[in-house]
């Protein structure tokens, strides 16, 4: 099975503009044979905590319908980043859309201290199935705690799907940590990071894939938009530059 991580520069607070960019990326991933496409943390709004409340959308929002239509057309699943409203507050969410199936969502369970004024933590782990492959999502800060990945592994996960918004320092630490997650727990790891301005920092890219032995299979640089395509059938991965976005 081919899984694709998208390295993307999101437009600050522009849900419609970002949605159009997501659709463009998904079309390219589909052309490469991807059956699952994952985007960086809060990709539909950009990582902008101060804008999260006004930009939040429920999982049922019709604004996500174009994503669903592409999933149905290409027979693939998509995991995007979006602030999700709940009765308790706004969560850092990952809606997961699959062809002709009810929508699912994962919410970040462990928040960084900087996020606490703007978000509430999710309270449910998730492992979802793609054919016979079991995938566990993780969102940025929580993915740096090996117990999060260990819980996913205990629930039968084979792939750790990591969606982040990380600085250069954070991505450097992440490379060491995700290699150990893969090697120690026997999980393949697929990482999607942003590039460009985000909140008070600059996204440092470095989206990558590791096999279940901890070997780095492919990575992107710190500035380009692109795709990492992981083939779980033969433990290989390739880095692909994104074609230019439509004007």
d(C-alpha 142, C-alpha 137), whole Å:
10
Residue 208, strand partner residues: 191, 219
**Residues 191, 162 contacting (CB under 8 angstroms):** yes
Look at residues 209, 192, 213, 212 and name the one whose alpha carbon lies nearest to residue 2: 209
For tokens 């991580």, what's the residue?
A: 5
pLDDT, tens digit, for every residue of 31-79?
A: 999 999 999 999 999 999 999 999 999 999 999 999 999 999 999 999 9
What CA–CA distance (Å, rounded) separates 79 from 67? 10
Distance CA 183, CA 9 (A): 30
Give the pLDDT confidence of 5-33 residue by residue, as tens digits. Answer: 999 999 999 999 999 999 999 999 999 99
Cα 101 to Cα 58: distance, rounded to the nearest angstrom: 17
The two tokens of residue 186 are 């026997």
**How many CA atoms lie within 13 Å of 52's alpha carbon, on the beta-carbon side?**
26
What Cα–Cα distance (Å) separates residue 13 from each residue in 44, 49, 56?
A: 8, 10, 10
* pLDDT exceeds cutoff 70 at 175: yes
Residue 247 has pLDDT above 70, yes or no: no
CA angle, residues 65, 7, 221, in degrees to nearest 5: 170
- Taking the complete model, does pTM exceed 0.75, yes or no? yes
């Amino acid at each position: 099975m081919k899984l694709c991580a998208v390295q993307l520069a999101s437009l600050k607070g522009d849900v419609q503009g970002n949605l159009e960019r997501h659709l463009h990326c998904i079309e390219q991933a589909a052309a490469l044979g991807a059956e699952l496409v994952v985007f960086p943390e809060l990709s539909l709004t950009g990582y902008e905590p101060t804008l999260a409340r006004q930009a939040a959308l429920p999982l049922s929002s019709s604004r996500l319908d174009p994503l669903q239509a592409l999933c149905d057309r290409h027979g693939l699943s998509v995991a995007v980043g979006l602030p999700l409203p709940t009765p308790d507050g706004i969560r850092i969410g990952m809606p997961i859309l699959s062809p002709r199936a009810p929508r699912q969502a994962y919410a970040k369970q462990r928040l960084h201290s900087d996020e606490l004024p703007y978000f509430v933590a999710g309270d449910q782990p998730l492992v979802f199935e793609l054919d016979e492959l079991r995938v566990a999502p993780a969102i940025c800060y929580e993915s740096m705690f090996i117990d999060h990945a260990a819980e996913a592994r205990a629930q039968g996960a084979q792939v750790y799907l990591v969606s982040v918004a990380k600085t250069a320092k954070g991505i450097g630490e992440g490379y060491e940590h995700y290699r150990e997650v893969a090697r120690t727990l026997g999980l393949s790891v697929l990482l999607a990071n942003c590039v460009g301005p985000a909140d008070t920092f600059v996204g440092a890219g470095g989206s990558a894939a590791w096999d279940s032995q901890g070997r780095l299979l492919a990575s992107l640089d710190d500035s380009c938009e692109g795709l990492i395509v992981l083939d779980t059938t033969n433990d290989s991965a390739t880095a692909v530059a994104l074609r230019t976005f439509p004007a």
